[in-house]
Amino acid sequence: MTVFKKQFATADAYEDWLSDASGRINVLAITNAPHVFGTGDRTHSGPVTITYQTNDRSLAPPRSLASKIIQIAIVGALFFAAFLLLVSKL
């Protein structure tokens, strides 16, 4: 299982996402978790960060553009090295 970290701006967004993803994730840690009703009158402030494991690729955060560019550059460099190797043998 792969470990991911996701941040939510509000507790409502976190709870909506969690209800949609229930059964497909294993929650490892919650930072700045919202309070359960009846435990106090403190209001929730700040973003909620969750660390979770999943095998479901639809719940994985999207890869950044920088990582895609690096992957393309590595593949391009390998093809260029193979081309130079073939040309040097002729």
pLDDT for res 14: 86
Q: What pTM was estimated for this model as a whole?
A: 0.58
The verdict on 21 and 33 lying in the same domain is: yes
The verdict on 54 and 66 lying in the same domain is: no
- State how far Cα 5 lies from the chain centre: 5
Q: Per residue in 12-36, pLDDT tens?
A: 888 899 899 888 999 899 888 766 6
Domain span at residue 79? 62-90
pLDDT for res 32: 80
Whether pLDDT at 67 is above 80: yes
The verdict on 38 and 77 lying in the same domain is: no
Name the strands in the sheet holding 48-54, side by side, starting at the edge strand that comes first in the sequence. 2-8, 48-54, 26-31
The verdict on 7 and 39 lying in the same domain is: yes
The verdict on 74 and 44 lying in the same domain is: no
62: left (phi over 0), alpha (psi -120 to 50) or beta: beta
Give the SS3 label for residue 87: helix
The verdict on 2 and 29 lying in the same domain is: yes
Rounded to whole angstroms, the Cα distance separating 45 from 42 reads 9
Q: Output the average pLDDT for the chain.
A: 84
Residue 54, amino acid? T
Report how many domains make up the chain. Answer: 2
The verdict on 54 and 67 lying in the same domain is: no
The verdict on 30 and 69 lying in the same domain is: no
